[in-house]
Amino acid sequence: MTIKTPNPIDVHVGSRLRMRRMLVGMSQEKLGESLDLTFQQIQKYEKGSNRISASRLYDMSRILDVPVQFFFDDMVRADADKADKPSGSFEMIEFLSSPDGAQLVRTFSEIQSPEVRRNILDLVKSVSGIATAVPD
């Protein structure tokens, strides 16, 4: 028996689904209820082991308040040169899909003061070892 590997596009769409769900603070159970699905089905979508139909993707985009295109953002065409892929984009999506990443983004976005945000960014850059400042 052959083990079928998920299509890379389904994996990408699933990872974007997970990232957005976590960024809005929604559980798999809650998203499943909104779509009349089990949380196990949401898990399969997020892993890319089950494909998401066009109508289901549309429903998810409405529930998660993003355009359908969001699920395909940062995706590299299969025939494109790997040099075209944005540096670290997979790692970024993976981090944002983690509980810590999602909580960090949610909490940071609640900070109203631009000065405080800049100070936090400077702190994180210094701790991470990034020496060059990124222009605003």
Between helices 89-96 and 8-23, what is the axis angle to 10°? 40
What pTM did the predictor assign? 0.66
pLDDT one-digit tens code per residue, 28-51? 999 999 999 999 999 999 999 999
CB 22 within 8 A of CB 93: no
Q: Which tens digits make up the pLDDT trace of 66-123?
A: 999 999 987 765 444 444 445 566 677 777 777 888 888 888 888 999 899 888 888 8
Domain 8-76+85-97, second-level architecture: Orthogonal Bundle (1.10)
Residue with tokens 């993707």: 57
